[in-house]
Amino acid sequence: MKLTTPRRAAAAAVIALAGLLASATPAATAAPGAPGSVPAGIPVSALAAPDIPLANVKAHLTQFQSIATANGGSRAHGRPGYLASVNYVKGKLDAAGFVTTVQQFTTGGATGYNLIADWPGGDPGQVLMAGAHLDSVSAGAGISDNASGSAAVLETALAVSRAQLQTTKHLRFAWWGAEELGLVGSRYYVNSLPSAERAKVSAYLNFDMIGSPNPGYFVYDDNVALENVFKTYFATLGVPTEIETEGDGRSDHASFKNVGITVGGLFAGAGRLKSAAQAAKWGGSAGVAFDRCYHRACDNTANINDTALNRNSDAIAHAIWTVGGATARSGLGTGR
């Protein structure tokens, strides 16, 4: 639809802890820190997240590549490829039952667009947000940076719809404009939120570059509870993680952190070189950038590591189901 105007329950009950950061006593499960223990302050959902189909995520990447190819080679702010990307994502979400809103802003002499998608239900006073910037640099299609995050967040939202998921928190997904110009879209969103609405956002999860071709597995360490949600998940896969140190202030989570909102997220690496120690534990090439096509024309559909994209997409779903406090699903839903 063309943009015209904005717009597992297991037998056990869900054990939801009060608040994200409340020092609620951890659920009486395993000893703190023991495998399978519950990080303090995180709702424990008896409902496991579904697998996010890698093929679906890659199909979105193919669409984003086609959009760039058909629109001068990029999906950059102010170019037709960006608005076409917004329309693609919006069409999928509208068809899946989300309430979408397009927020316009102006920067660099051009109109920018944020796409916000609310999943009906949940406590409107406790909003869990997950997002990714949808724009590329003007040099290329921006498949690693950041169609990867945009596609994974989109497919997770569609999985929520397929499950007709019910959650304790209200779920809100976002695709940001003009990140590459300096976090412009996400900052505009946060600054435009009335303070009462801002206070309702319990956490924002950011996913920028999650399929890098020579990947690392980095977890944001801005909040220990959210960091543990991701670390615990990767530990179940036997994948060691490191804390993310390349990005303080370098992606859209900074817009939220700057106004005191709890943030977390995942990152597979950009222009820094992978060390020998990192190559030993993660595979890939030492002495080579995590993404050697970072901000270059070669950031196309060949510039993705499927294993990293798959693992990170599933980790995103795990976080949404867990932190969102999934309580029930009522079918296969309509998500496409």
Which positions are annotated as active-site residues?
179
Number of residues that bind ligand DTR (CB under 6 A): 13
Residues from 216 through 245 that contact Zn ion (CB under 5 A): none
* Least CB distance to Zn ion at residue 136 (A): 8
Burial class of residue 3 in the structure, from the number of CB atoms within 10 Å of its CB (0-12 exposed, 13-18 middle, 19+ buried):
middle
β-sheet bridge partners, residue 218 = 242, 267
Q: What are the angstrom distances between the C-alpha of 104 and each of 84, 94, 95, 115, 181?
A: 15, 18, 22, 9, 15
212 vs 311: CA distance, rounded Å: 12
* Least CB distance to ligand DTR at residue 242 (A): 12
The residue among 249 and 260 lying less far from ligand DTR, judged by its C-beta, is 249
* Least CB distance to ligand DTR at residue 267 (A): 4
Q: Which stretch binds ligand DTR (CB under 6 A): 79-87, 166-174, 242-250, 296-304?
A: 242-250
User: Does 242 help bind ligand DTR (rule: CB under 6 A)?
Assistant: no
111 vs 109: CA distance, rounded Å: 7
Q: Which two tokens stand for residue 227?
A: 């960091």
* Nearest residue to the partner ligand DTR, using Cβ: 247
* Least CB distance to ligand DTR at residue 129 (A): 16
Mark 130-159 with x for binding to Zn ion (rule: CB under 5 A) and - for no binding: ---------------xx-------------
Number of residues that bind Zn ion (CB under 5 A): 3
Burial class of residue 12 in the structure, from the number of CB atoms within 10 Å of its CB (0-12 exposed, 13-18 middle, 19+ buried):
exposed
What is the greatest pairwise CA distance in the chain?
A: 56
Interacting partner of 8 out of ligand DTR, Zn ion, none (Cβ under 5 to 8 A depending on kind): none
CA-wise closest residue to 266 among 295, 302, 237: 237
Q: Are 294 and 231 in contact (CB under 8 A)?
A: no
CA-wise closest residue to 317 among 158, 201, 210: 158
Interacting partner of 270 out of ligand DTR, Zn ion, none (Cβ under 5 to 8 A depending on kind): ligand DTR
The residue among 49 and 134 lying less far from Zn ion, judged by its C-beta, is 134
Mark 261-280 with x for binding to ligand DTR (rule: CB under 6 A) and - for no binding: ------x--x----------
User: Does 179 help bind ligand DTR (rule: CB under 6 A)?
Assistant: yes
With b for 16 or more beta-carbon neighbours within 10 A and e for fewer, the 250-280 pattern comes to: ebbbbbbbeeebbbbbbbbbbeeebeeebbe
Q: Which amino acid is at 134?
A: L
**SS3 assignment, position 270:** coil
**SS3 assignment, position 15:** strand
The residue among 29 and 275 lying less far from ligand DTR, judged by its C-beta, is 275
* Least CB distance to ligand DTR at residue 214 (A): 15
Q: Which two tokens stand for residue 183?
A: 């976090």
* Least CB distance to ligand DTR at residue 146 (A): 6
The residue among 118 and 145 lying less far from ligand DTR, judged by its C-beta, is 145
Residues from 191 through 210 that contact ligand DTR (CB under 6 A): 208-209
Q: Which two tokens stand for residue 136?
A: 């590329």
Distant-in-sequence, close-in-space partners of 277: CB < 8 Å, separation ≥ 6:
none
Contacts with Zn ion, residue ranges (CB under 5 A):
145-146, 208
Provide the binding-site residues for ligand DTR, judged by CB under 6 A.
145-146, 179-180, 208-209, 244, 246-247, 250-251, 267, 270
